[in-house]
Amino acid sequence: MPAQDELLARLALLEAGGRSQPRRTLLEAYGSAVGVRAAGPRAWRAAGMDADACAAFVRGVDPTVARSALDWACDGGERHVLAWGEPGYPLLLAQSPSPPLLLFAEGQLAIASAPAIAVVGSRGCTPAGEAHATRFAQAFAGAGLAVVSGLADGIDTAAHLAAVDALGGTIAVVGNGPERAYPRHNRTLRDRIAAKGLVLSELPPGTPPLRSHFPRRNRILVGLALGTVVVEARLRSGALISARLAADAGREVFAVPGSIQNPCARGCHGLIREGAALVESPEEVLAQLVPQLAPQASSECVSPGTAGWPTDHKRLWSALSDDPTDMDELSSRTGLTAAELSAILLGMELESRVVVRHGRYIRPAPGAEPRQLRR
């Protein structure tokens, strides 16, 4: 959590607007937003900030925005403010093309650095599309992946609900202040996610949902994820924006095909023509992501013994037993972070090296044969 003066300076830098790269360059050069402010306009212009952005930075943050952000930061509990370039900021998002300078978060922060998959699609989805989103999200949550979506109606809601009901991690990236629910009837779902998962926004508390916020929201959504699954999408939709942002970030894009009579399938078919992977089951997605999640686990763990396993894999195996063990206990026993454990456990589960039961992990039954994933 940034100190108060740093938070206010970071908010002013955020509100200054303009291209984000010059502001990130300044933060890297001066170490903090307070340091950037002290560097002065000449340094700002040299880094590429335009005249309007420099003038806005001089004016500082709006007092109402400042009060709302400070109240949020001081509330304690499960509310957090994450600053780009500082500890605790989601690692995968930091590697994306345009990471936000600030994130307002409510919930379980460890989920933000766990392996994740985005599930997106049409607000006005079909019953079949909703069923597909539910099936994919349940499988991803059961495999230890956090399910990322945008809390919108339709596919987003189905994906979040499936992940929460499966006792898995889910991240809702919203296009308004983090305390708000949009649409309003998703308030209960938003609160369930804040209690068990994570709600994220780059917009300060009190910010209303505006049309211009949602394309910006989408870049965060896909930036958190190893890949994006598009379940249903019309030819012109936010889901297609998300898919293209994911591709631009070098992340995997998967599309679920549908009937040629279904307008909500046409966007998916267009993505497939452009090179997205056609997938008909969550297992196909998981198989393609395993090399990114735990390449050593998927390539070395091919015999019943542990010879040749990396040290952290052996440590995790020793921590497992026939009694179901949750992630917190495994972290305590091994010294590994939740993100490190999630990556290793997912690879081991996909090769039948570990069994997950209601969010807890056990060794497989004696005599169970490991399986080699299809490459």
277-309 confidence digits (pLDDT tens): 999 999 999 988 877 765 433 333 333 355 556
Per domain, the residue ranges of the chain are 1-61, 109-282, 294-362
For residue 185, CA distances in Å to 153, 182, 188, 207, 289 come to 9, 7, 7, 18, 34
Q: How far apart are CA 243 and CA 232, in angstroms?
A: 12
Provide the terminal-to-terminal Cα distance of the chain, rounded to the nearest Å: 42
Q: How far apart are CA 41 and CA 250, in angstroms?
A: 35
Residue 312: which pLDDT band, with cuts at 50, 70 and 90?
confident
Domain 294-362 fold is Arc Repressor Mutant, subunit A (1.10.10)
**Confidence at residue 296, expressed as pLDDT on a 0 to 100 scale:** 31
Angle (CA) 104-118-91 rounded to 5° is 50
136-160 confidence digits (pLDDT tens): 999 999 888 999 999 999 999 999 9
59-106 confidence digits (pLDDT tens): 999 999 999 999 888 877 789 999 998 888 998 999 898 999 999 999
209-225 confidence digits (pLDDT tens): 998 899 889 999 999 99
Among 226-230, 285-289, 322-326, name the one with the lowest average pLDDT. 322-326
The overall longest dimension of the chain from CA atoms, in Å, is 69
The sheet that has 146-149: what strands, in order across it? 79-83, 102-107, 198-201, 170-173, 146-149, 116-120, 227-230, 252-255, 277-278
Among 112-116, 340-344, 348-352, name the one with the lowest average pLDDT. 348-352
**Confidence at residue 168, expressed as pLDDT on a 0 to 100 scale:** 79
For residue 370, give every residue at least 6 positions away whose Cβ sits within 8 Å of its Cβ, in sequence order, or none.
301, 302, 303, 304, 351, 352, 353
109-124 confidence digits (pLDDT tens): 889 888 999 999 999 9
* 109-282: CATH architecture: 3-Layer(aba) Sandwich (3.40)
Q: Are 289 and 227 in contact (CB under 8 A)?
A: yes
Q: What is the model's pTM?
A: 0.79
